[in-house]
Structure 1
Amino acid sequence: MNLSRLFPLLLAAPIALASCSKDNDSSSATSSKLQVRMTDAPGDYQQVVLDVRQIEVHLKEDTNPDGWQVLPFQAQTINILEYVNGRSALLVDTDFAPGDLKEVRLILGPDSYLIGRDGQRYDLKTPSGQTSGVKLKLDKATLREKETFQLLLDFDVAKSIVERGNWKPGNDKKERYLLKPVVRVLAQDIRGGLRGTITPAAALPQVLAIRSSITVPDTFSTAADASGAFQLSSLPSGTYRVQFYPSTTAPANQPAYKVVTRTGVTVTNDQVTDLGQVSVN
């Protein structure tokens, strides 16, 4: 994200960035926020690329085939080995009606592959019985109004990729490996937060909280009110870089307002991190 290019826009009007907290959006005042992320345990390959086509959640009992709802997701290939050791890929971030979720289904296409330690590409074939998708049951997954709920899909590469016992060097590379996804799903409310007070309050800054502990970084935004106070809610836990962009110009008899950055800010679930007073001059 190039913030230097973004800065002129911040001065002109409130920014419109993807955010887990849209408290000012009246159209979603009573909705929940649903996120789906994917992470991985390390595997002994250079790359493992998954062809992810569709993500769905089931809202009704198992016996009801009409309970599936397709989530807004653009089909894409994901090198899952880029998302290890606490990193995760954000797949879905959407407003969603409060209520219970029963299952999540991950539908993979035919174009998954891996790059082995030998540098060769091997297609990953999916057994015919799994072409309808990987279904994962959810236990006590309830979305509540104005809160963010996250489904973290923990993909286990080491268990998911199976080498055929009768394959030998020189055989068709498409026949060496099978993809039998082993995925664990972690469901959790996201209730971390940030707050503080800007001085001088007349600077009316935009506030960006950028979660730098993941790839690609998440960005959340809000604006300080007339008293200088600000708060961001429903933040995932992690380490953030918080930036303050004044939206007004200081009076002639005062020091100029400036962009201020706080780094290494820790957000913990179920807690609000207080940044105290932040001076922008």
Structure 2
Amino acid sequence: MKTSVLQSLVLGTGLAFLLVACSQQDDTNPNDARIEIRLTDAPNPNIKEVWVDIKEIQINMGSDSNGWTTLTGTHPGVYNLLELTNGRDTLLANASLPSGKMNQLRLILGENNYVITQDGQKEMLSTPSAQQSGLKVLVNTELSGGVLYRLVLDFDAAKSIVPAGNSGKYILKPVIRVLSFVPSGGIIKGFVAPDSVLTTVFALQGSDTVSSTATNQGNYQFSDIPAGNYSLHYYPAPDSFKTAQKDITVTLGQTTVVDTIRLELK
């Protein structure tokens, strides 16, 4: 989107757009981190399907081994692990949580766990420990407020499904590891003076708008914005003020604090 088009957009939408943008900004707690938990797998040539019943996800962010809390925003369901191969994954949770050190997470399983063998037979899997204490995964990662983290878990079906002797039955002995756990972008924070002037801020790369927001009492913030070089464009709502521009660089997982922008009268 060209700069001239941006200016027309701001002037055309007027105060209503700016009030909506401020309302959206107020709903975001900058002290919270956000996390996406995804599940993937490697293929198992001996089994046609592996269905795992995931009831909830719990996290531990303290040193107390009893300090488990249920993660809101979890998507419970019965998942076929063998559909999650060749780079495919599924979203298990999308939630906000306090910043700080995340020590562990665990998957609590239900009773509907089973495999479909290559000859089409359904065999139930016994998982008593997973239904009670859960499948624990060590994380030990510090989470910063305002950053979105993407955690990909590899549920290794090939190693987790073990034949029970010569009975033709199978046992679930889960093998789960953290495939990746990375911040997906950075944060831009700044201030526009005078703080009484409602201002729309656009983050551009070249002529493309990557994100936009509006000031709230002079403050503005972009959360989870991709790393790279940006040109910030400031459009005050009153026509009596000049627009402004600032070039910045965003680093993955870090906060870029922009120098105060002081609006000038025309």
TM-score class, shorter-chain normalisation, is 0.5 to 0.7
The number of aligned residues is 186
Change (3 A) 1:192 1:88: farther
Deviations 1:170-219 (CA, angstroms, capped at 9, x unpaired):
xxxxxx011111000232222279954668xxxxx9x8xxxxxxxxxxxx
Q: Is the 8 A contact 1:51 1:76 kept in 2?
A: yes
Structure 1 match to 2:84: 83
- Find out whether 1:191 has 2:185 as its counterpart: yes
Any idea what SS the aligned residue of 1:81 has?
A: helix
Any idea what SS the aligned residue of 1:167 has?
A: coil
> How does 1:238-257 map onto structure 2 within 5 Å?
none
Percent identity of the aligned residues?
Answer: 34
Q: Is the 8 A contact 1:28 1:95 kept in 2?
A: no
Give TM-score, length-normalised by structure 2.
0.60
Change (3 A) 1:87 1:192: farther
Structure 1: runs of 5 or more not aligned = 1-12, 15-21, 169-175, 200-204, 208-221, 226-230, 238-268, 272-281
Structure 1 match to 2:61: 59
- The 1-side partners of 2:24 and 2:159 are apart by 41
- What CA RMSD, in Å, does the superposition of the two structures yield over aligned residues? 3.4
Give TM-score, length-normalised by structure 1.
0.57
- The 2-side partners of 1:235 and 1:223 are apart by 10
Q: Is the 8 A contact 2:226 2:252 kept in 1?
A: no
> How does 1:65-76 map onto structure 2 within 5 Å?
65=66, 67-72=67-72, 73-76=74-77
Change (3 A) 1:43 1:29: same
Any idea what SS the aligned residue of 2:25 has?
A: coil
1:86 aligned partner, one-letter code: G
Change (3 A) 1:235 1:107: farther
- Find out whether 1:158 has 2:158 as its counterpart: yes
Change (3 A) 1:192 1:80: farther
- Find out whether 1:148 has 2:148 as its counterpart: yes
Q: Quote how far apart the aligned CAs of 1:153 are.
A: 1.1
Structure (1 or 2) with the larger CA radius of gyration:
2
Q: Quote how far apart the aligned CAs of 1:223 are.
A: 5.3
- The 1-side partners of 2:170 and 2:204 are apart by 50
Q: Quote how far apart the aligned CAs of 1:113 are.
A: 1.1
1:117 aligned partner, one-letter code: Q
Q: Is the 8 A contact 1:41 1:84 kept in 2?
A: yes
- The 2-side partners of 1:105 and 1:166 are apart by 31
- The 1-side partners of 2:150 and 2:29 are apart by 17
2:80 aligned partner, one-letter code: N
Structure 2 match to 1:30: 31
- The 2-side partners of 1:155 and 1:236 are apart by 28
- The 1-side partners of 2:25 and 2:90 are apart by 26
> How does 1:6-21 map onto structure 2 within 5 Å?
none
Structure 1 match to 2:49: 47
Q: Quote how far apart the aligned CAs of 1:165 are.
A: 1.0
Identify the match of residue 175 of structure 2 among 163, 167, 182. Answer: 182
Structure 2: runs of 5 or more not aligned = 1-15, 18-22, 188-202, 215-220, 228-250, 254-266
Change (3 A) 1:121 1:91: same
Change (3 A) 1:145 1:129: closer
Deviations 1:101-154 (CA, angstroms, capped at 9, x unpaired):
11001111110111111122111111x344321111123x11102111222211
1:155 aligned partner, one-letter code: F
Q: Is the 8 A contact 2:57 2:106 kept in 1?
A: yes
Structure 2 match to 1:94: 95
Q: Quote how far apart the aligned CAs of 1:235 are.
A: 6.6
- The 1-side partners of 2:226 and 2:118 are apart by 35
Q: Quote how far apart the aligned CAs of 1:74 are.
A: 3.6
